[in-house]
Amino acid sequence: MTTAHFELVVLDMAGTTVVDDGLVEGAFARAWDRVRATDEGRDAAIAHVRATMGQSKIAVFRAIADEETAQALNVAFEDALRELIDEGRCEAIPGAEDTIAILRERGLKIAFTTGFSRPTTDAILAVLGWTSLVDVVLTPADAGRGRPAPDLALMALIRTETSAVSAMIVVGDTESDAASGRAAGAGLVVGVLTGSRDEESLRAAGADEVIASIVDLPALLP
């Protein structure tokens, strides 16, 4: 396998390029306490958020609440997430920035995709100094549907004018990331173990390869 075959690497953010040390769950817990203010259903809701990591957050909230409550949870979640970012709970996966630089030096285009909203995504990129690090950054609102649908990966392909789905690599830490890459027809789907999922789960969801961290990605492309 050579980089000549590939043109685009689509990278998830939280858990793949950005450390998610309870960041998402912590933000949701704060949102739940502000909107619902009850322990009833709290543990089950947090478990659902954990199980659906990588998916569009509003879609996740709609699965556990009516539309009005889901919208309120989404607003509260975004507020809480930005609070945690401001508190210093946002850092890069070790070696991620250098790895992205290596991939770009090899002539690959890079896209970030995420289940976060645009304001939250921009806040994360600003804190990390990554505003101009990649070619395109996409949220579910930019693509139509969040993961596990293929929309984010396919929109990245369109925005970067990549020649074919087979020339695209999709990388992520959740089953939703792997399923999205597989549904998009990516030439290579890679799972990383820097999130909360194990190799078996990622392969079952469609990952061709599973690596310890994004820093191991260039070695797959000699």
Q: Quick one: 193 exposed, middle or buried, by C-beta within 10 A (0-12, 13-18, 19+)?
A: middle
User: In angstroms, rounded to a whole number, what is the distance separating the alpha carbons of residues 187 and 208?
Assistant: 9
Q: Provide the number of structural domains found in the chain.
A: 2
Same domain, 81 and 173: no
Q: Are 23 and 5 in contact, with CB atoms under 8 Å apart?
A: no
Count of CB atoms situated within 10 Å of the CB of 210 = 20
Over residues 10-25, the mean pLDDT reads 92
Q: What does DSSP assign to residue 210?
A: E
User: In angstroms, rounded to a whole number, what is the distance separating the alpha carbons of residues 39 and 26?
Assistant: 15
Percent of the chain with pLDDT over 90: 82
Q: In terms of residue numbers, what domain contains 8?
A: 3-19+90-220
Mean pLDDT score of the chain = 93
Same domain, 31 and 73: yes
Q: Are 6 and 221 in contact, with CB atoms under 8 Å apart?
A: yes
In the listed set 55, 86, 117, which residue is the last one of a domain according to the structure? 86
pLDDT of 205-217, one tens digit each?
999 999 999 999 9
Same domain, 137 and 75: no
pLDDT of 117-163, one tens digit each?
898 899 999 999 999 999 999 999 999 899 999 999 999 999 999 99
In the listed set 86, 113, 133, which residue is the last one of a domain according to the structure? 86
Same domain, 123 and 60: no
Beta-bridge partners for 12: 113
- Res. 1: pLDDT tops 50: no
Same domain, 9 and 111: yes
pLDDT grade for 54, boundaries at 50, 70 and 90: confident
Residue linked to tokens 């689509």:
10
